[in-house]
Amino acid sequence: MTLTIQATTTGAAPPGATATGATAIGPPRRRRLGLGRPIPYGRVLGPLLLLAVWSAGSASGALDPRILSAPWTVLRTAGALTADGRLPDSLLTSLQRAALGFSAGLVIGTTLALVAGLSRLGEAVVDGLVQVQRSVPVLGLIPLMILWLGIGEAFKVVIIAIGVSITMYIQTYAALTGIDSRYVELAEVVGLSRWRFVRQVVIPGALPGFFVGLRLAVTGSWLVLIVLEQINATSGIGYLMFQAQNYAQTDVILVGLVVYALFGFGSDAGVRLIERRVLSWRRTLAG
């Protein structure tokens, strides 16, 4: 029996192998095709390079300051605007609008999603309505809202709130209704009450989707804010930039852009931080 197996193996040897089976051997030779280890803090390299090119261009006079002010001019302008109080004032106004609109939208959107996601009646009433509302771009509501509310703060807050609430609604509702049916079955089997089922299975299960909505909504609220402040405002960062455009002050415009960028980056980082805390059970999955 054993002999037969050996004979077969030898007979089936590849034609390249010598009769004795002694081919030349050595360490494995492989060309590495993957990208290798990432550079530490590599992500700042690009922005730093851009800053260097910008500085060089401004210093050599290749960049017309009317087109693009030098980095140091922007810094100096930021200092001056802070000193005379215009920047802090505008910043506060803008932050207030965004925060008010965002929190109102967050509460409304999440509440609607809970109503629609947790009961069939709520779904029938709310979901159709929101789906219709969703097909109207938020910025398209500006004329109507101005007619209704004037061009004061209320109108801006309402527009931001509508945008945020729709984003929050869509993501949260999808997460609530998309809960794994296996977990529903489990809850039935262990005899959870409806309330405990919602609290311990549905809501924790929907949190990842809720956070996706939160991140989209934060970004979206800044976008809406910028548009509102640049066309219909008498205060705020956007208004500051709009005025600067009239006087061709590129340095002020750049200060505004940097502030917006910091807003956007900061709030996204904040949401991600909260998400990591709340969804700590997921970290183990990511490794």
Partner 1 sequence: MAADPGRVSARASALIRGFGGRTVLDGLDLEIPDGQFVALLGRSGSGKSTLLRAFAGLDFGVAGSGEVAVPDRVSVVFQDSRLLPWRRVLDNVVLGLAGGGTARLARRSTARLGGRGTAGRGTGGPGGRSAGGLTARDARERGRAALAEVGLAGRERAWPAELSGGEQQRVSLARSLVTEPRLLLADEPFGALDALTRIRMHGLLRRLCERHRPAVLLVTHDVDEAIVLADRVVVLDAGRIGLDLTVDLPGRRSPADPHYLEYRGLLLDALGVREPGAKESEGVPA
Binding interface with partner 1 (CB under 8 A): 182-183, 185-186, 188-192, 196, 199-201, 204-205, 207, 279, 281-282, 284-285
Taking the C-alpha atoms of residue 210 and residue 218, their distance in angstroms, rounded to an integer, is 12
CA distance 147 to 133: 19
- Measured CA to CA, the distance from residue 3 to residue 7 in angstroms comes to 6
The residue (of 141 and 279) whose beta carbon lies closer to partner 1 is 279
CB 205 to partner 1: min, Å:
7
CA angle (130, 135, 139) in 5-degree steps: 105
User: CB-wise, 137 or 191, nearer to partner 1?
Assistant: 191
In angstroms, what is the minimal distance from the CB of 274 to partner 1? 15
Please identify, using beta-carbon distances, which residue of 174 and 257 lies nearer to partner 1. 174
Q: How far is the CB of 283 from partner 1 (least distance, A)?
A: 9
Closest contact distance (angstroms) between CB of 287 and partner 1 is 10
CA-atom Rg of the chain in angstroms: 30
φ and ψ at residue 115, rounded to 5 degrees: -60, -45
Dist CA 112 CA 100 (whole Å): 18
* Residue number, 16 or 191, with CB nearest to partner 1: 191
Measured from the CB atom, the residue of 30 and 182 that comes closer to partner 1 is 182
Q: What kind and span of H or E run contains 255?
A: helix 250-278
Nearest-approach distance from CB 123 to partner 1, in angstroms:
19
User: Of 226, 206, 114, which Cα lies nearest the Cα of 160?
Assistant: 226
Contact present, 110 and 171 (Cβ < 8 Å): no
The residue written with tokens 């492989």 in the block is 30
| Closest approach of partner 1 to the CB of residue 46, in Å | 35
Nearer to partner 1, 200 or 243 (CB): 200
